[in-house]
Amino acid sequence: QSALTQPASVSGSPGQSITISCTGTSSDVGAYNYVAWYQQHPGKVPKLMIYDVNNRPSGVSNRFSGSKSGNTASLTISGLQAEDEADYYCASYTTSSTIVFGGGTKVTVL
Amino acid sequence: EVQLVESGGGLVQPGRSLKLSCAASGFTFSDHNMDWVRQAPGKGLEWVGRIRKKSDSYTTGYAASVKGRFTISRDDSRNSLYLQMNSLKIEDTAVYYCVVLGPFGYWGQGTLVTVSS
């Protein structure tokens, strides 16, 4: 099972919106609505930001939203803030009953 | 408060074995599938494997990179999760996290395993 494909880096200015893509196949992202997004600050434990494509856990800012089209999922961060600077990982359930992560995207706030 | 506390990490030589433990509290452990996720130094997240709950017959699944070498088990009476790692390779060096994936998103703090001669 190959890792999901994410851009290595995405950047934006404070207040802007950015979108991170996560491309898989019909055997993972395209097969189920089980896509999650995690935020990880340096030296910290990953934090769940989105689950089941577009659901936010309690306590996560509504500036974070998720979507999916075909084999590609996306995470959008609106009203970008300095605290959003972190690594972001997508993950998907697969038809082999395994989990696959994306390679990660470094978000930089300019 | 949900807590997942991993233990058992350390320095081990290639080819040797190591067993990690994860103590869970603050939620009904037996109701959840449990996963191990690892992160090599400076690298991304990699799913290691899963053990499902009793109602799903405690079935397990593993990443191709560890299948046949790693075994996940659980003891619901002790609220504990385990990862038995055999035939360790240098590329198994990573922080190993005990995790409840899905809508709960519970992660432990991780335990570092270093495989080196």
Structure confidence by residue, pLDDT tens digits, B31-40: 999 999 999 9
Cβ atoms of B51 and B34 closer than 8 Å: yes
Residue B15 has a CB neighbour count (10 Å cut-off) of 11
Structure confidence by residue, pLDDT tens digits, A30-52: 999 999 999 999 999 999 999 99
Q: How confident is the model at residue A2 (pLDDT cuts 50, 70, 90)?
A: confident
Which of B2, B33, B50, B101 is the best mutation test for A, with the most CBs of A within 10 A? B101
Tokens found for residue A11: 């950047």
Cβ atoms of A50 and A56 closer than 8 Å: yes
Give Cα separations from A42 to A39, A76, B79 (angstroms).
10, 21, 30
Tokens found for residue B99: 């995790």
CB–CB contact B63 A36 (8 Å): no
The minimal CB distance from A45 to the residues B35, B50, B110 is found for B110
Residue A15 burial by CB count (10 A; 0-12/13-18/19+): exposed, middle or buried? exposed
CB–CB contact B61 A98 (8 Å): yes
